[in-house]
Amino acid sequence: MREMLTGGELDVLTGDYLAELTMLILGRDRLKDPGAGYARTFLRQLEECLGLAHERSVKIVTNAGGLNPAGLADAVRQLADRLGIPVRVAHVEGDDLKDRHPDSLAAHAYLGGFGIAECLKGGADVVVTGRVTDAALVTGPAAAHFGWRPTDHDRLAGAVVAGHVLECGTQATGGNYAFFDEGSHDVRRPGFPLAELHEDGSCVITKHPGSGGFVDVGTVTAQLLYETGGARYAGPDVTARLDTVRLTKDGPDRVRIEGVRGEAPPPTLKVGLNRLGGFRNEVVFVLTGLGIEAKAELVKGQLAEALGKVAEARWELVRTDRPDADTEETASALLRLVVRDPRQEAVGRVLSGAAIELALASYPGFHVLAPPGKGSPYGVFEDVYVPYGAVDHVAVLHDGRRIPVAPPQDTLVLEDLTEPPAPAPLPDGPVRRAPLGLLAGARSGDKGGNANVGVWVRTDEEWRWLAHTLTVDRFRELLPETRDLAVSRHVLPNLRALNFVVEGILGAGVAAQHRFDPQAKALGEWLRSRHLDIPEALL
């Protein structure tokens, strides 16, 4: 926060503190303390930086209110009073639908940006929200500044795209970037991105002068593909058409985004439901040297009877060993056991009892990475949809006035677009077996139980090859974990990109820790490491 306030010009500072997992954590906090439920880290940052923001007339807009935006707004007022800084604090409410879903730990609708806009138009210096879309932190200030109306779909769509690029901070400035090791860019401490927004909805993505990392068409493309689905990117303010986005270099560390078209939002609001799914426990057995698979089968057989008493047990053998290794660690494989059950005592008893009691009676060299605990709760995430009328979207101004935010008058049912025509294929020529990542970048992430993998290339010739080569069947072939799951492919020619959505690969969402990489953050890097026949002309 300090870096953004002191590093260069800024009108509005946004902060995105919420993810699906965060809502579950805040829900558990609020069970212990009804006054909790917001991101306390925001208050710690603000204590250091509120004076700077006031001196520089920078507005602050954040969703750090989580489950309790009114509580955080009060806490900010108390902080400002203690520091002697005169600030006007407003908040947005109406997203909390737990009364409708009493079995959930948290149930929150994803609101749009017009509540934020009302707060800013009412004179707020700090605006705190609960669950809004990540992009709403940008559409709200933009609508307030430019006077946009809910029917200004193209302008709002441009702001949504800008907000999507900004929402994950340094992922737009070289963080987590597929080609981080190319060129002379220093990505050890990337600076944060900022968007210069224009009245027509276009923008330039850049960063403060002298900050680390870099901004180019690749880093912006990567973030545009992150955690998206089809070409229609739907939200409560507008549906942005990602297939209309045009990116051009606008100077050093500057990328212009323009041409974004918008459509009316869908007729329903997404609601994220978080509930406790039960308890989980795990233990990792270390298998060293010869007979790795036989050792694994022995311990599995020894635990079979005990594991019949828990609701779910999953084994995974990770072959980190190598033959004739010169260290014990590289001679060892890892056998991971995860158990789940509604009863904490059941998952604790199986691993702290049955598994550890084998220590002197199992495979040679028996040991585990760490002793198992009692078991910890895990969460389940799902999304449902409600009509706009189910939500009372209200802007609560700094003087206590309550401004209702009307739902959109125009809506449009979301439909998948027909896949655009593919470019002409490359002529036949010699090929070489090589990793996909020599040509293509990728970024992947989670949406509930689904994962997306966005793949892009940087030249028209590479795009002619990728569009024809990386079909759904080839994707499943390269990532065998997806073979039995529904996979859809979405084509974005302006970005030279394909976006794949894999349904159900993450089970009940990140909090359920269904697989080794529970948020699918590295699924794209696995894909890039896979080998296939690539034209030598491109290599």
Kindly report which listed range (209-223, 246-260, 365-379) carries the lowest average pLDDT score. 365-379
The C-alpha atoms of residue 266 and residue 99 are separated, in whole angstroms, by 24
Q: For 40-63, write each residue's pLDDT tens digit.
A: 999 999 999 999 999 999 999 999
Does residue 129 lie within any of the structural domains? no
State the average pLDDT over residues 333-351: 92
Looking at the fold, whether 368 and 284 belong to one and the same domain comes out as yes
Nearest C-alpha neighbor of 449 from the set 106, 140, 20, 16: 20
What confidence tier does 372 reach under pLDDT thresholds 50, 70, 90? Answer: confident
The pLDDT of residue 514 is above 80:
no
The pLDDT of residue 259 is above 90:
yes
**Whole-number pLDDT of residue 447:** 86
Does residue 20 lie within any of the structural domains? no
3-state secondary structure of 313: strand
The CATH number of the domain where 289 resides is what? 3.30.70.380
Looking at the fold, whether 211 and 318 belong to one and the same domain comes out as no
The C-alpha atoms of residue 176 and residue 521 are separated, in whole angstroms, by 9
Does residue 457 lie within any of the structural domains? yes
**Whole-number pLDDT of residue 495:** 97
More confident: 226 or 380? 226
Residue 67 is given by DSSP the state T
Looking at the fold, whether 217 and 284 belong to one and the same domain comes out as no
Does residue 194 lie within any of the structural domains? yes
State the average pLDDT over residues 144-148: 98
Phi/psi of residue 453, nearest 5 degrees:
-130, 110
The pTM is what?
0.93
Four-residue CA torsion sign, 5, 7, 10, 14? negative
Does residue 337 lie within any of the structural domains? yes
State the average pLDDT over residues 125-141: 97
State the average pLDDT over residues 200-217: 97
**Whole-number pLDDT of residue 369:** 93
Q: In this prediction, what percent of the chain has a pLDDT beyond 70?
A: 100
The pLDDT of residue 387 is above 90:
yes
The pLDDT of residue 508 is above 80:
no
Sheet holding 193-197, edge to edge: 193-197, 203-207, 255-258, 246-249
The pLDDT of residue 340 is above 90:
yes
Total domains, the chain = 3
Looking at the fold, whether 230 and 291 belong to one and the same domain comes out as no
Looking at the fold, whether 296 and 221 belong to one and the same domain comes out as no
The C-alpha atoms of residue 56 and residue 6 are separated, in whole angstroms, by 9
**Whole-number pLDDT of residue 454:** 98
What confidence tier does 8 reach under pLDDT thresholds 50, 70, 90? Answer: very high
State the average pLDDT over residues 135-149: 98
- Final residue before a domain boundary, out of 241, 265, 289: 265
Phi/psi of residue 189, nearest 5 degrees:
-145, 80
What does 85-122 look like in DSSP terms, one character per residue? ----EEEEE--B-GGG-TTSSEEEE-B-SHHHHHHHHT
Does residue 41 lie within any of the structural domains? no
Looking at the fold, whether 289 and 214 belong to one and the same domain comes out as no
What confidence tier does 288 reach under pLDDT thresholds 50, 70, 90? Answer: very high
**Whole-number pLDDT of residue 516:** 81
Q: For 375-386, write each residue's pLDDT tens digit.
A: 888 888 889 999
Max mean pLDDT among 244-258, 345-359, 418-432 falls in 244-258
The pLDDT of residue 153 is above 80:
yes
As a whole number, the mean pLDDT across the chain is 95
Tokens of 85: 């800084």
Kindly report which listed range (140-154, 290-304, 338-352, 468-482) carries the lowest average pLDDT score. 338-352
**Whole-number pLDDT of residue 310:** 94
Contact (CB, 8 A) for 129 and 63: yes
Does residue 87 lie within any of the structural domains? no
Looking at the fold, whether 292 and 371 belong to one and the same domain comes out as yes
State the average pLDDT over residues 124-139: 97
What does 203-234 look like in DSSP terms, one character per residue? EEEEE-TT-BS---HHHHHHHHHTT--SSEEE
What count of Cα atoms within 13 Å lies in the side-chain half-sphere of residue 362?
A: 24
Kind of pairing between the strands at 89-93 and 126-128: parallel
The vertex-65 CA angle with 51 and 513, nearest 5°, equals: 125
Contact (CB, 8 A) for 70 and 108: no
The pLDDT of residue 9 is above 80:
yes
**Whole-number pLDDT of residue 335:** 97
Q: In this prediction, what percent of the chain has a pLDDT beyond 90?
A: 86
Beta strand spans in 293-430 (E):
312-318, 332-341, 367-368, 376-387, 394-396, 402-404
Looking at the fold, whether 156 and 240 belong to one and the same domain comes out as yes
What confidence tier does 368 reach under pLDDT thresholds 50, 70, 90? Answer: very high
Looking at the fold, whether 260 and 281 belong to one and the same domain comes out as no
- Final residue before a domain boundary, out of 365, 380, 395: 380
The C-alpha atoms of residue 200 and residue 202 are separated, in whole angstroms, by 6
Helix axes 136-146, 114-121, angle to 10 degrees: 50
Beta strand spans in 110-220 (E):
126-128, 193-197, 203-207
Contact (CB, 8 A) for 136 and 116: yes
**Whole-number pLDDT of residue 129:** 98
Tokens of 40: 């306390």
Does residue 409 lie within any of the structural domains? no
Q: Domain range for residue 212?
A: 150-265
What confidence tier does 64 reach under pLDDT thresholds 50, 70, 90? Answer: very high
Contact (CB, 8 A) for 514 and 521: no
